[in-house]
Amino acid sequence: MRRWLVVLLSATLLLMVASALRANEYQRVVFGSFSTSSAAQRWAAKVAGTLEVATQVLPFTSNASQGFRVASQPLTPSRCLDVQRLAQAHSWPTWQYAESHQVRAQKQPVAISSAQSQSPKAVLALSAGKADPVANALSKQPSSPVSKPPGNPIARQVEQEFDLDLGMQSRSYLDSGNVGQDRWQASTSLTLQWQRSWQDGRRSLTATPFLRIDSQDSERTHFDMRELFASAVGNDWELHLGARRVFWGVTEFHHLVDVINQTDLVENIDMEDKLGQPMVQLSLVRDWGIVDLMLLTGFRERTFPGDEGRLRALLPINTDRATYASAAQEHRVDGAMRWSHTLAGVDFGVYHFSGTNRDPQLRLVSLGANEFELRPHYTTIDQTGLDAQANLGDWAFKLEAISRSGDGERYAAANLGLERTLVGAFGSRSDLGLVLEYMFDERGDETTNSFFERDLAVGARWQLNDLYDSQALLGVIWDTHSDEVIVSIEANRRLGQHWQLALEARLFAGAERPEQHSLLALLVDPKQKTAALQRDDFLQLEFTRFF
């Protein structure tokens, strides 16, 4: 542990020194681009009302076509990070570009708008710290602010927003499954986003139900209330009551510190989809940072693919026989507190969580007659974590680290990353982001609930900067101990004003393909953690219609 403290302190100090040069830099958060001014204005109004951030519509030209970009007013780096976290909680992709202090001083403040709209979604998904090749041009263009004059009686009226997303997804696998599952899997999803606000947006109700119907996996056919909460906002505080999604983390490939919400694993193996967590959350805004206090009322168990599903474990997982270390089981009340701030140009958050572990241990249980199954066991843990990010020009330096007890002996784990953005790559309008991350867990081969214990990840993010928010991400994760490899490809492109096409692919290599006689041996082999996935290489296409 002593060496880990030295490593973490040194890394934090390096981040602080490296980012001191950007202390006076302002940035914009970009929420998407549109081909018509009216669509951009509607989306800007919705973003402003939901996230409580002043927005602008900025015209630009791409390939002789006029476009309109929805962006925030220039913000400090810490405020940018807060806005992006709020947007991610609503599943709104964002990116940002730097703006100098001189440009910021020329801008006039724009009031927050909560005008309602039903507009297409932005699908651009770049992480923090990206530069925009048209940033200088945008700063010189006349902007269309989304604002309401103080005292406008319309702002005090009740406002309501309603959006419906219909997704049509198809997955094709290269091989049949380990137990003969089909090579093709289709599903349909519905996501409803409803919000009602009043008192100038200081009081609101939010509901986000989600439904998926799957052609093969009965466990993947499921309904979840992603969000259902009431909010009250004061001058220096926020109170939220109900089921919410809260995201913590800065790295690209593995969110080590994201501990509040349970993973909806039947949705995707990348662990990005989360179940709503019932909670009472109080946020206090002070000059010395933001303090979040959370009371988590009720635990939600992880979802797993069923017997006929793909991307599943080698043996069936019996979620009906889950066990808990706590006598209160799923009724235990958990707690968390977090302090986030910007110091010497470093955006960071420090938190402590005490409660039921969201990552279950899968315990092998014999059913007799040479039959076995896996049963989830949820331990009670105390976890202290740190996430930090510093942007220096085209470079971004990232850190996530935790120390956890209650899941065996106390251990530490960390993700270290850096990212470089090449603006106008190869003489084009496109941006190319290069990502390098290292994931370490000091448990090593004894790690039972994670693939990432000594892994190196590299990635490339290509952003076209066109009217359709076209973007692609390639990632490769390599286990330096077992030589197991996971390759991921993701790409998005908007089709007109109401459609989006998303492509995703996963390839798994380096472990043995399971045979029926070797299942138990593979389960306990630390060099075969991805053995269950070796027959699950897939290509996924999804069309989404926004209403």
In this predicted structure, what is the pLDDT of residue 295? 97
- Which of 31, 35, 24 has its CA nearest to residue 53? 31
Asked whether residue 125 falls in the same domain as residue 167, the answer is: no
* pLDDT, position 47: 84
Residues 118 and 169 in one domain: no
Q: Does residue 197 share a domain with residue 75?
A: no
Find out whether 389 and 250 touch, Cβ atoms under 8 Å: yes
Quick one: pLDDT at residue 407? 85
Last residue of a domain, one of 130, 146, 162: 146
How does the average pLDDT of the chain come out, rounded?
Answer: 81
What backbone torsions phi and psi does residue 303 show, to the nearest 5 degrees? -90, 150
Least confident span in 46-55, 116-125, 445-454: 116-125
What are the pLDDT digits (tens) for 237-278?
999 999 999 999 999 999 999 999 999 999 999 999 999 999
Give the mean pLDDT of 66-86: 76
Are 123 and 160 part of one and the same domain?
A: no
User: Residue 63's pLDDT is what?
Assistant: 55
Looking at the structure, tell me whether residues 177 and 232 fall in a common domain: yes
* Domain span including residue 243: 2-6+151-546
pLDDT tops 80 at residue 76: no
> Average pLDDT of 106-126?
33
Weakest mean pLDDT among 40-49, 332-341, 350-359? 40-49
Overall average pLDDT of the 511-529 stretch? 73
Domain co-membership, 96 together with 157: no
**pLDDT above 90 covers what percent of the chain?**
51
Mean pLDDT of 429-441: 92
pLDDT for the residue numbered 266:
96
Distance separating alpha carbons of residues 464 and 133, to the nearest angstrom: 11
> Is residue 326 a contact partner of residue 377, using CB atoms and an 8 Å limit?
no
Same domain as 487, residue 533: yes
Boundary-marking domain end, from 146, 176, 203: 146
Report pLDDT for 205.
95
Q: How many domains does the chain have?
A: 2
| pLDDT band at residue 226 under the 50/70/90 scheme | very high
pLDDT > 50? residue 413? yes
pLDDT of residue 545: 95
pLDDT greater than 60 at residue 104: no
Residue 276 parent element (H or E): none
Is a pLDDT exceeding 50 seen at residue 451? yes
Residue 302 dihedral angles phi and psi, to the nearest 5°: -70, 145
* Span 130-164, pLDDT tens digits: 333 333 333 333 333 443 334 444 445 788 889 99
pLDDT at site 78: 62
Cα–Cα distances in angstroms (integers) from residue 245 to residues 111, 261, 348, 379, 465, in the given order: 27, 6, 20, 22, 29
Q: How far is CA 345 from CA 28, 109, 252, 388, 394, in A?
A: 16, 23, 21, 10, 15
What's the pLDDT at 69? 81
Instruction: Judge whether residue 97 has pLDDT over 80.
Output: no
CATH code at 198? 2.40.160.10
Give me 439's structure tokens: 């994931």
User: Do both 321 and 307 map to the same domain?
Assistant: yes
Q: Residue 277: what pLDDT? A: 96
pLDDT of residue 457: 96
350 and 399 inside one domain: yes
Give the confidence band of 91 by pLDDT, cuts at 50, 70, 90: low
DSSP 3-state assignment of 223?
Answer: strand
What does the alpha-carbon distance between residue 236 and residue 290 come to, in Å, rounded to a whole number? Answer: 9
Which CATH number does the domain housing residue 25 bear? 3.30.70.1070
Q: What is the pLDDT of residue 391?
A: 86
Tell me: do 84 and 166 sit in the same domain: no
- Boundary (domain end) residue, out of 93, 114, 146: 146
Confidence (pLDDT) at 140: 34
Same domain, 162 and 26: no
Could you tell me what percent of the chain has a pLDDT over 70? 80
Q: Are residues 132 and 176 in the same domain?
A: no
Specify the pTM. Answer: 0.74
Range with lowest mean pLDDT among 52-56, 113-117, 324-328, 407-411: 113-117
With a cut of 70, say whether residue 450 has pLDDT above it.
Answer: yes
